[in-house]
């Protein structure tokens, strides 16, 4: 059983169901349509879906292909990563509303005879046997309270995981100094065609920009805990900052009229010391909270799912109980990569905090412009972001991607 219908939970459910393992996915909401969730599908994820025969259909859905990751500083633009230099059929980051991606996976999952998705099913507690091994969940839906037994419960229910809390596990914060205020502005045909994943830096804040099928997602940085002061100041300072840093959006910032049009994302970087208990495994943000900077959250969750499937499928196919060493092996394989990503994010947060305290401009190190201009560095940086550290390989692909129709 998997609790949580985000990318990690959905991919793991599909991999288990595809392998013939009976699996039920419980999602607390009635649909997947929440705004300002991560929308970036990295080349690793697209290649995985291609191996499973799903990429062609997925990419027929509306999406934007971002070739570059750019930083815009007072000293000029920097392009750390050029995904077009990757040796891949998917030499870009696909920006697609996460709800569309999850709806697609849910539909594919429902086609598998051994899998099912139950939406509107809110987990309220864990079931345990006399030895304290977790044996299932208690959940509530529109018809009342229910209990559902399972040989293994996988908590994939995000940074505020109810499963983690019910298990008595805690996520230790590693430190974040920034919050993000998100809102949307319309996309016009005259906008720069190569804009896609961009950060614009000022002295005390930055503006993040993601393009997509529903217009521009604009993220305005706040110091940690700075939301009440920003709300009291109103949207005028935000409009002025966006118009100054991104001049080609100046003609539409007036459409942001009220704080009700914004969504505040409290940035965090955190990790659970042990991702498992007998009968329970945590993956994705339930096990390790990833900052949205760099768009690594979906990638890390999907890779958790691949590693979990590699270890779980042989055991579950054989009808055996998933032992503690198997669960520990999932964490042991994934934790070094997660720690590496989080360490880089913590360094970024520390640099931003130090800049705010000393009055220096917030922005990337000046040496970055020189380094990224060296031959091969943009490709190397793109590969590091596209695949993450030590990307796992699915152990049992059963589809030849070359038999796919042409990727659109």
Q: List pLDDT tens digits, range 126-140.
A: 999 999 999 999 999
**What is the rounded distance in angstroms from the CA atom of residue 118 to the CA atom of residue 209?**
34
Confidence of residue 356 (pLDDT cuts 50, 70, 90): confident
Q: Between 295 and 302, whose confidence is greater?
A: 302
Lowest mean pLDDT among 36-45, 115-124, 182-191, 312-321: 36-45
Average pLDDT over residues 173-194: 90
In this structure, what token pair is assigned to residue 187? Answer: 């996309």
Q: What percent of the chain has pLDDT over 70?
A: 95
Average pLDDT over residues 79-85: 92
To the nearest 10 degrees (0 to 180), the angle between helices 7-18 and 98-110 is 20
Burial class (CB in 10 A: 0-12, 13-18, 19+), 227: middle
Q: Whose CA is closest to 261, among 291, 224, 292, 231?
A: 231
Average pLDDT, the chain: 90
Whether the predicted pLDDT of 33 surpasses 90:
no
Is residue 196 within 8 Å of 68, Cβ to Cβ?
Answer: yes
pLDDT for 36 equals: 53
Question: DSSP per residue over 25-70, as a string?
Answer: EEESSSSS--TT---EE-HHHHHHHHHTT-HHHHTTS--EEE-EEE
Whether the predicted pLDDT of 400 surpasses 70:
no
pLDDT for 401 equals: 46
Whether the predicted pLDDT of 398 surpasses 90:
no
Is residue 369 within 8 Å of 75, Cβ to Cβ?
Answer: yes
pLDDT for 17 equals: 96
Average pLDDT over residues 260-288: 95
pLDDT for 112 equals: 96
**What is the rounded distance in angstroms from the CA atom of residue 34 to the CA atom of residue 357?**
35
Q: Which position has the token pair 């259909």?
A: 57
Q: List pLDDT tens digits, range 308-320.
A: 999 999 999 999 9
Q: What percent of the chain has pLDDT over 90?
A: 72
Q: List pLDDT tens digits, range 369-397.
A: 677 777 788 999 999 999 999 999 999 76
User: Any residues with CB less than 8 A from the CB of 139 and at least 6 apart, and which?
Assistant: 26, 121, 122, 123, 124, 145, 146, 147, 148
């Amino acid at each position: 059983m998997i609790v949580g219908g985000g990318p990690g939970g959905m991919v793991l459910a599909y991999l288990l169901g595809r392998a013939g393992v009976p699996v039920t996915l419980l999602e607390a909401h009635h649909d997947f349509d929440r705004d300002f969730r991560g929308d970036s599908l990295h080349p690793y994820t697209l290649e995985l879906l291609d191996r499973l025969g799903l990429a062609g259909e997925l990419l027929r859905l509306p999406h934007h292909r971002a070739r570059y990751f750019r930083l815009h500083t007072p000293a000029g633009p920097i392009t750390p990563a050029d995904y077009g230099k990757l040796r891949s059929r998917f030499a870009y980051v696909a920006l697609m509303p996460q709800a569309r991606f999850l709806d697609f996976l849910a539909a594919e999952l429902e086609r598998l005879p051994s899998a099912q998705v139950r939406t509107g099913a809110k987990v309220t507690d864990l079931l345990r046997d006399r030895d304290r091994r977790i044996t299932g969940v208690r959940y509530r839906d529109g018809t009342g309270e229910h209990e559902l037994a399972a040989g293994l419960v996988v908590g994939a229910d995000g940074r505020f995981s109810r499963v983690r809390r019910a298990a008595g596990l805690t996520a230790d914060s590693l430190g974040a100094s920034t919050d993000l205020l998100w809102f949307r502005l319309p996309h016009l045909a005259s906008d720069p065609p190569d804009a896609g994943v961009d950060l614009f830096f000022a002295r005390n804040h930055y503006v993040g920009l993601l393009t997509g099928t529903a217009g521009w997602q604009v993220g305005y940085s706040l110091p940690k805990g700075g939301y009440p002061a920003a709300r009291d100041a109103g949207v005028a300072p935000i409009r002025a900052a966006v118009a100054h840093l991104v001049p080609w959006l100046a003609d539409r910032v007036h459409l942001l009229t009220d704080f009700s049009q914004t969504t505040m994302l409290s940035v965090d970087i955190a990790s659970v010391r042990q991702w498992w208990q007998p009968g329970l495994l945590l993956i994705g943000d339930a096990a390790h909270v990833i900052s949205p900077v760099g768009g690594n959250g979906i990638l890390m969750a999907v890779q958790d799912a691949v590693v979990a499937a590699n270890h779980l499928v042989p055991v579950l196919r054989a009808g055996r109980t998933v032992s503690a060493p198997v669960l520990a092996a999932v964490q042991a394989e994934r934790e070094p990569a997660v720690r590496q990503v989080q360490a880089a994010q913590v360094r970024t947060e520390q640099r931003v905090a130090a800049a705010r305290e000393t009055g220096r401009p917030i922005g990337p190190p000046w040496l970055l412009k020189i380094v990224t201009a060296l031959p091969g560095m943009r490709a190397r940086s793109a590969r590091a972001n596209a695949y993450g550290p030590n990307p796992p390989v699915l152990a049992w692909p059963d589809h030849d991607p070359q038999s796919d129709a042409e990727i659109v």
